[in-house]
Structure 1
Amino acid sequence: MKADTVRGHLDGLLLSVLEPGPLHGYAIITAVQERSGGALELRTGTVYPALNRLERLGLLESDWQSVGERRRRRYTLTDAGRRALADERSAWREFTAAIGAVLDGPARTRPAT
């Protein structure tokens, strides 16, 4: 799938995979790829700046977690992030319904008999 396809939807994707609970950056990337059946492959150079931006906006919180001798930054949805995710889902449903209506063409009706 083209990278441009994700543009404009990245925030919703990231918020969505964090809904079940906290994840570190690489796990977020993996979750998006798994949920999309491999169709979406996000790059770290795209994901980490977006995570930082979402945190600055108050939609995410982060903390440091030690895994062995490594420390990983773990991201969690805030209440504002949950509300933003609900808004993203609503906007997505409206968008896909409108695009679907155009691409599917006018509803076909059967002639009266």
Structure 2
Amino acid sequence: MSNGVGLATAAGTKSTAVAVYVTAFLAAAHKLACQVIRISPQGNDVFTFVDGGCAFFPQRFADISGHLALTLAVGLARIPGDDPAHTSAGRAADAAIAESWRTLSLSAARPDCSSPT
């Protein structure tokens, strides 16, 4: 869910200050959530880093649903399990991650995704 907040921030504003404030809010929410469910003290750092990065990555509103669907699919595929379905889902998630990185590397060439100057 917080990925969506970061992505929507990137799509909705070009202001660095707004992105910083949203990232700070997400960091506080992640810290609170990790304290409540007793994840290690550094547990919130990963969530904050990923979601904060989403807030600064050039984005379009039309792309957000696809990014969130990919995030959900990879997260669900990474739930541990020994059955063949989990194994194949894990392989599919690895392929999706590889394709996502390839797509991100190509996004710099898109004129609508170039960083503001």
Q: TM-score by structure 2 length?
A: 0.33
Q: TM-score by structure 1 length?
A: 0.33
Higher helix share: 2
Higher strand share: 1
